[in-house]
Amino acid sequence: MIIAKRLKGKAIATWLGPTGDAARRALTRARQRITKAPPRLDFYFDIADPMSYLTAQAVARLVEAYPVELGFHVVTPPASDVDPLPIFRTKNAVRDAEEVARYWNVEFPAHKEADSTIVRDVGTGLIPERSAKDHLHAAIELCGALWTGDKKKLGTLLLKWGTESSGSVLPILNSNYAALRKAGHYQGAMLHYNGTWYWGIDRLPYLEAALAAELGGAAAPVVAPRPEAERGALALSAKPLTCELWFSFRSPYSYLALERIEDVLAPYGVPLVLKPVPPIGARGVEVPTVKRLYVVRDAKREADRLGIPFGELCDPLGKGIDHCLAIAHWAASRGQLLAFARSAMRGIWAEALDVAEYVDLRHIVERAGLSWADASAALADPEAAKAAQANAAELTVYSLVGVPSLRCGDFIAWGQDRFALLADRLRRHALVPATAAAT
């Protein structure tokens, strides 16, 4: 059984690696040659999604800088199978967009979720027939009014751009969302170019590199950090800082986060508190194939960028997760949770080690400098599962919807993509005079 899983892990690594990527790109180019279609960038825009609005600003710059044909598609919010907690997602999305806009050179004027009535009105202005570039500019203008809540300005803009009946909106958006799922993704703020998906602001460097390599164009990135002069002192908390990090052993992004978090916190002496949670699959929510495929491909791309081994996988769902959570609970009591978690994650995501099997689990435990005799005795502790469930419940308190998630002072974020923003907030916090931070 273990040998079979090792072989499967190597097969997955091959599929995720350069050979698999090259094959997918070659297939896309072959289709373009056959159809004689020009290079095309497709943008999927969700009206109520803050990241779609931020991404639209970047796309407007991209199509000016690079000679690429634009496709613009207005879609519904994600379906329930990929978005089991939409209330928390929408709350976190606004908070996230505010932090992103503070750091990157994009704008986001809102402080709360979109008004559903205004979203409906914007939809009437985004379904008339027009060119993709005009659709993009209409979306930026109309959603600018949406996020500021300026109904008077919205009325003026709807007269400018023209509208269709409100009854026509949902069928068109549903059809576009179905096309998005068929193409291989499941949410807005997505860019599709040459057979590869790019999400929002976070994946623009990959997309720009691809556009520049294949089409030529501007060398400067269309989205860059704001000058540090605009990102001065800003306190995270008046109290001593601690960074809480929620993670799952079944999450590849959690693996990347655990490999990086110490480097982010160490310059500022901020202690780390790790909070393992059960994977969403163990909480009765099945992740559909379209999402699992994108996540693992994207995580591989990020791991390669960061120089982190990744690709030989062995899914720990089931007994493997139970083992990891039990030993994590025991290791935390000894102050050695990070060492165990990193060893286990490397085994799961880079070495195809089966944490459901004692032979692999023992290797992982002992590699972390822990006693196998003591760790194996902890496998029967019923408190481990209770602690993990309590950690998962905490996520909802902060309107967080997945892992890795983190909280450091007033900075709350979902995703290892936000480590750059956390590092910047820690830098800014360090600039605050001690007397000011304490008041």
pLDDT band per the 50, 70, 90 thresholds, residue 366: very high
The half-sphere exposure of 378 on its side-chain side, counting CA atoms within 13 A, is: 25
Which pLDDT score, from 0 to 100, does residue 38 have? Answer: 81
- Bigger pLDDT: 84 vs 349: 349
- Bigger pLDDT: 434 vs 360: 360
First to last CA, the chain: 60
The domain made up of 33-215 has a fold known as Glutaredoxin (3.40.30)
Query: pLDDT digit string (tens) for 236-247?
Result: 999 999 999 999
Which pLDDT score, from 0 to 100, does residue 17 have? Answer: 79
**Residue 34 corresponds to which tokens in the numbers above?**
């056959």
Rounded CA separation 353/9 (Å): 9
243-430 homologous superfamily: Glutaredoxin (3.40.30.10)
Q: Each residue of 43-64: b (16+ CB within 10 Å) or e?
A: bbbbbbbbbbbbbbbbbbbbbe
Q: Where are the domains of the chain?
A: 33-215, 243-430
Fold match, 33-215 / 243-430: yes
Average pLDDT, the chain: 92
Query: pLDDT digit string (tens) for 325-350?
Result: 999 999 999 999 999 999 999 999 99
User: What interhelical angle do 383-397 and 319-333 show, nearest 10?
Assistant: 90
